Amino acid sequence: MAITPPSNRLWWKEPIQAIELGWVIIAFLWGLFMFFFMIAWHFIGDQNLSNETYRIKPEVFEDKVIAFADEFQKKDANGELVEEEGVPVVAPPEGGDVYMLARLWEFWPVLELKKGVPYRFHLSSTDWQHGFSLQPVNINISVHPGYEHVFTLTPTGSGDFGVVCNEYCGIGHHTMTGRIRVID
């Protein structure tokens, strides 16, 4: 119930004022522009990830990631394997294939990549649907078990980049993070 109800309760039969019609036309034209620009940006934007995806059994992908981590796990000056909070730090060869696994509630392993070098990035989940969000870079992928997502990633800045899950995956969702370190 309004404080001062309109005199004519059939508001949709009221004539449209010129200023209101102007804003409706501007909003409509802006919507058309954005719709067609999204289509154009797909071709001229050069920011879209590859749509290269393969069916794979989750346990097979997990075995590939474990083998990758075992082969390329980083060693310190004493020859000891490097880990961060129990997660291996993996330094793959320049320009090689890189594997990352999403599972409750972690991204595994920690990757150490070189700045300016393109890598073929493989990503999948072993249990639930997760979201791969590389922060602060705007890369977001919905990661499904049974699908191996493959895209090319060329780090352009150095430092630590966080990977967070942006698809609710259960009670530990808020702790599901990973890390990609980029070195010069």
Task: Kindly state whether residue 11 falls inside one of the protein's structural domains.
Answer: no
Question: Are residues 32 and 71 located together in one domain of the fold?
Answer: no
pLDDT tens track for 70-123: 999 999 999 999 999 999 999 999 989 999 999 999 999 999 999 999 999 999
User: Same domain, yes or no, for 37 and 57?
Assistant: no
Q: Judge whether 10 lies within some domain.
A: no
In this structure, are 78 and 145 located in the same domain? yes
- Is residue 72 located within the same domain as residue 91? yes
Residue 67 has pLDDT above 80, yes or no: yes
Residue 179 resides in a domain: yes
Q: Angle CA(165)–CA(70)–CA(149) in degrees, nearest 5?
A: 40
Number of independent structural domains in the chain: 2
- Cβ–Cβ < 8 Å for 157, 180: no
Q: What is the pLDDT of residues 29-55, one digit of tens each?
A: 999 999 998 888 877 876 666 678 999
Query: How many angstroms separate the Cα of 139 from the Cα of each of 68, 110, 121?
Result: 23, 17, 12
Instruction: Tell me what pLDDT residue 55 has.
Output: 96
Residue 39 is part of which domain span? 16-44
- CB-based contacts of 146: which residues, under 8 Å, 6+ apart? 55, 56, 57, 58, 124
